[in-house]
Amino acid sequence: DNTVPFWTVPIYGIIGPMIIMTSIYIKRRNIYDLHHAILVAITAVLTDAIKDGVGRPRPDFFWRCFPDGVPAYDNFTTGVLCHGKASDIKEGHKSFPSGHTSLSFAGLGFLSWYLAGKIKVFDRRGHVAKLCIIFLPLLGAALVAVSRVDDYRHHWQDVCTGGVLGLVVASLCYLQFFPLPSDENGMLHTSFRVTRKTPLS
């Protein structure tokens, strides 16, 4: 069984961050904060495309192919004769990268970026508690990644690649609309930033 069922991924990867950002919106009334996290959904498209393109077998593929534990091969072609459930065999070729991991790091990674800007983590005032707050979502995503290897559903390379993929998408989505958290106006959407035009010399 899956330690983390797939149906829970959208809950903590997308819905959870959206609830937190909506709560911040209610307090700050910044309408631009409400819709950007959904951009991490493109992670799902990228992940599925790579899964179908690579077709790497899962660690438990042997048991998907031979549920009774007895391997069978074609005597002429030496090809494998899987006699397991067709849907299980098809799903068994989708190990790389880990969808659980990529979606977790995309949603929760975006949330870490978002919180870092809103609570001004990098204001150099030495608030260690703020660092703990932004690392909590990443810790949750990491635990999901570890569970996928522990459940024997993915190889370690699958979850590492999924984590990198999710973080890259989260970072691109965040930086497309928000300045770096270390910026003086890091808590504001880019549309609120005022730029001064200097006269031509």
Task: Determine the Cα–Cα distance for residues 38 and 179; give it in Å rounded to an integer.
Answer: 18
Q: Is the dihedral of CA 23, 26, 27, 30 positive or negative?
A: positive
CA angle (90, 109, 13) in 5-degree steps: 50
Active-site annotation holder among 100, 127, 155, 189: 100
Catalytic residue at 35?
no
What 3-state DSSP class applies to 121? Answer: coil
Q: Could you tell me the two tokens for 99?
A: 């969808």
Please report, in angstroms and rounded to a whole number, the separation of the first and last CA atoms in the chain. Answer: 69
Catalytic residues: 100, 154
